Amino acid sequence: MKRYTAWVGIFVLAGTLVSCGGGGDSSGGGGAGNSGGGSVATPGRFEESDAAVSLSGAWTPTDERFAWSGGTAMQSTAVGATATFTFTGTSVRWIGARNENGGIALVSVDGGPGKRVDTFARPNEIHTPIVTLDGLTSGRHTLTIRVTGERNSQAHSTNTAVVVVDAFDVDAPIVSHMQEMDPDVSYTGSWTQDPSSAWSGGGVASVPDPPHGGMRFTETAGAKITFKFRGTSITWQSGRGPDYGIASVQVDGGAPTDVDTYSPTQKYQDVVFRAAGLADAPHTLTVQATGRKNDASHGIKIVVDAFDVTTPGRRHQEEDSQITYTGKWTHDNVNRVWNEGACNTSNVAGSRAIFTFTGTGVSWIGCQKESCSGVAKVFVDGAFVKEINNWRPVPIEAFQHDIFRVDGLTPGTHTLMIEQQINGGYIVVDAFDVRP
């Protein structure tokens, strides 16, 4: 359990309701070192210091100003340096960092073919999902991450090629990282935008969008945000610092929890609250500045940076083999906070993305904002369902957003088709979520 973090488990009875351009935590195994790899991780979160993780070659600690999972992470630029993680499960997710200094790693399972994974991106995202490997056979496996020393062709010559290992998730649910300017977040009282690059989604903008993103903060008692979401858990990502105050947090109007965000040193992108065990149904999170503070603090600032929402099912990334693209699409857009680093975009009428899946429900994960103003027709199994206009006014920025969802399909194979209707305005395919 991280120091200063409020963890709240909430159990609900069944039936409740983009830019286009350690181990040792409560969910994982034990172990105090990373030199052995002698333990086997079962489902949950495992830090880079867990006994199931082994690092070889030159690795150094990451920037302490950022709030890594479990408090620490390791990084390397040394060609051939490896991180191995031994686990039991059918899927594994590498948690690391993405930014303009991110390098390319070669990722493999059980000594099989390597997959090149690029951690370059415009925004600076920490404790973020880098890649999820699904569909493994049930049993024991070993994930290997090898530093290649290579970097994205879009990187400047002064950029390094850093690979960060922060944690691993075994058999984890879908995670969507929603920004503070998501349309499902509403603000009351006085709030100020800080678009700087230390915060999730900060430091980047795409014409005609102004430089929004980053975080919002308040120093006004009573100022409040309300975030409406659907999922089985929720985290509030904030920051900590010497002038930070105490917030009151509620889920679905339940008992309030005080969260003290004071720290003697500045911390960015820190998860300060989590509620788990929710029904897969609509919920509401509220965060209110109380005007109170730790005796050591010299301010009452409260920061809203981002939210992580988990949902059951399996996420298929934009380059999944089950997706067929026709028309004109731009691939590998890394300019904003896309799920696992990239998305595909189209601004040409008639372009289509066709996803073939097996399940009873599906969601299209995309973007809605000023520059993502495309209009899409959505078809399920060849039948027209609805037309969606993705334009949203500034300052709304909906990344990793559930654009379209359908449930209650008959068990079996289905198709979801998205067709761009206009020239000029972009539509985004970030991922598709399938429910069994």
Residue 5 belongs to a domain: no
Helix (H) or strand (E) holding 406: strand 397-406
| Secondary structure letter of residue 410 according to DSSP | P
The tokens of 272 are what? 């300060």
Counting the structural domains of the chain, the total is 3
pLDDT at 213: 86
pLDDT at 13: 27
- The residue among 172, 193, 217 that closes a domain is 172
User: 268: closest CA among 172, 201, 345?
Assistant: 201
Reply yes or no: is the peptide bond before residue 395 cis, omega within 30 of 0.
yes
- CB contact at 8 A, 193 and 48: no
SS3 71: helix
Same domain for 378 and 255?
Answer: no
| 59-75 tens-digit pLDDT | 999 999 999 999 999 99
How far is it, in rounded angstroms, from Cα 241 to Cα 375? 42
- The residue among 284, 311, 338 that closes a domain is 311
Same domain for 341 and 394?
Answer: yes
Same domain for 35 and 165?
Answer: yes
CATH of the domain at 235: 2.60.120.260
CA 246 to chain centroid = 25
Same domain for 305 and 263?
Answer: yes
Residue 230 belongs to a domain: yes
pLDDT at 40: 86
Residue 327 belongs to a domain: yes
pLDDT at 171: 97
- Flag whether the pTM goes above 0.75: yes
| 133-158 tens-digit pLDDT | 999 999 999 999 999 999 999 998 88
SS3 340: helix
Same domain for 163 and 259?
Answer: no
Same domain for 168 and 181?
Answer: no
| Secondary structure letter of residue 320 according to DSSP | -
Residue 16 belongs to a domain: no
| 332-372 tens-digit pLDDT | 999 999 999 999 999 999 999 999 999 999 999 999 999 89
Same domain for 39 and 167?
Answer: yes
pLDDT at 357: 98
Residue 131 belongs to a domain: yes
Residue 95 belongs to a domain: yes
pLDDT at 246: 98
Same domain for 277 and 236?
Answer: yes
- The residue among 148, 172, 196 that closes a domain is 172
How far is it, in rounded angstroms, from Cα 106 to Cα 50? 21
pLDDT at 38: 59
pLDDT at 118: 98
Same domain for 38 and 166?
Answer: yes
How far is it, in rounded angstroms, from Cα 323 to Cα 316? 9
Same domain for 327 and 251?
Answer: no
Same domain for 241 and 299?
Answer: yes
Measure the N-to-C terminal CA separation of the chain; round to a whole number of Å. Answer: 32
The amino acid occupying position 342 is A
Residue 92 belongs to a domain: yes
Residue 20 belongs to a domain: no
- CB contact at 8 A, 337 and 123: yes
Same domain for 186 and 297?
Answer: yes
List of the chain residues with pLDDT < 70 = 1-38, 208-210
Q: What is the span of the domain harbouring residue 398?
A: 314-435
Beta bridge partners of 231: 281
Task: Give me the sign of the Cα torsion angle 284, 340, 399, 322.
Answer: negative
- CB contact at 8 A, 22 and 46: yes
